[in-house]
Amino acid sequence: MKARKIKAGIYWVGAVDWDRRMFDDLIPLPDGTSYNAYLIQGSEKTALIDTVEPEMSHILFSRLNQLGLERIDYVIANHAEQDHSGTLPQILAQHPQAQVICTPKCKTMLLDLGLAPEGRILTVDDGATLSLGDRTLEFIHAPWVHWPETMLTYLQEDKILFPCDFFGSHLATTDLYVTDEGLGYEAAKRYYAEIMMPFRRIIQKNLKKVQEYEISLIAPSHGPIYDRPDFILDAYHDWVYSEPKNIVVLPYISMHGSTREMVEHLVDALIENGVTVKLFNLAVTDIGELAISLVDAATIVIGSPTVLTGAHPNVVYAAYLANALRPKTKFVSIVGSYGWGGKMVQQLAGLIPNLKVEIIDPVVIKGRPKAEDFESLDKLASSIAEKHKGLE
């Protein structure tokens, strides 16, 4: 397989994983992904930035061999996670002179994961540089984007930022660059929602740090390269800084139809009140789509029947996930039905301590909804619309 030239002496040597459908057995990948590695040739030294998922190491080696590469001097490990550092052992075996460059925290993690021996690792401080001759790499520490050890690498002369997972997208494509910005935006937003959103405050700081650099290309470790850096920088700026929007995210499940009747009525009432609703039936939904919708929503309304005194397990999972992802959401409410009793509201409220939200009075009823229950749902819709006043 051939390396793909970005410019003279700079190549993409990664692997596209068209078939992968889950990451960490947690995150759905409807569009596959890629593991991007980059080769940088200076007049004196050669560096490889990141490697690939070990299962695809043969593709990385095939591309490196096609270049007739004799020597790698440095392997830049921006991030210890195995989809980027997992092929380090084979690279170090094939290039016995190569040294791994990483942050001190990353060194510890590489040792813990058995990915490199101590004697082969050189740690670098924030802002440190490494000369390849006529090219210079600068290392920018970016802890918690999204692990504690991560760093970004900036190629000074060519003004290329290699930010590893930061700005990445799970998108398998033959395009080296983002050509369809609609598709690129959706894939990057899904990636942000699932991976980066829990670290939104830290992302804000790192975004500021990155914006101090003059950047011609952003070349992440997943998905296509951004040759219009402002496209992804502006998107991130919106996701981490903007006020939430006039949107209700409504994940629900219904066992015998009562909760569905309530949800359908509430959706209509919210629409009447000028509120956009994103509805997710948790029996069939792609949890990634739900995560994307949480990026912008001002309110989450959870809809659940009562199962063995608590919420339906799928709803518990969705609430747990929303809590872990820490979206900008400001308000939460709960709607649903029970047969003979239960503590669903207390249970769900207890599952979302990370969400700094105001709880709007839930509407939880006995059996099928009746006229007064529909009135309560109308009031809930009006109350949400009132709280959303002023939001876009």
Positions in the binding site for ligand FEO (CB under 6 A): 79, 81, 83-84, 146, 165, 221-222
Closest CB 150 distance from ligand FEO, rounded Å: 8
Closest CB 4 distance from ligand FEO, rounded Å: 19
Residue 253 to residues 215, 283, 376: CA-CA distances in angstroms?
46, 6, 20
Give 103 or 347: the residue with its C-beta nearer to ligand FEO. 103
Closest CB 358 distance from ligand FEO, rounded Å: 33
Give 135 or 146: the residue with its C-beta nearer to ligand FEO. 146
Closest CB 83 distance from ligand FEO, rounded Å: 4
Give 79 or 260: the residue with its C-beta nearer to ligand FEO. 79
Closest CB 166 distance from ligand FEO, rounded Å: 10
Dihedral of alpha carbons 184, 187, 191, 194, sign: positive
Give 67 or 202: the residue with its C-beta nearer to ligand FEO. 202
Long-range contacts of 209-217 (CB under 8 A, 24+ apart): 209/140, 209/142, 210/140, 210/152, 210/161, 210/163, 210/166, 213/154, 213/159, 213/161, 214/159, 215/159, 215/160, 215/161, 216/158, 216/159, 216/160, 217/6, 217/158, 217/159, 217/160, 217/161
Residue nearest to ligand FEO (CB): 81
Give 142 or 311: the residue with its C-beta nearer to ligand FEO. 142
Give 17 or 83: the residue with its C-beta nearer to ligand FEO. 83
Q: How many Å apart are CA 119 and CA 5, to the nearest integer? A: 32
Closest CB 316 distance from ligand FEO, rounded Å: 26
Q: Where are the alpha helices (DSSP H) in 242-367?
A: 258-272, 287-294, 313-325, 344-350
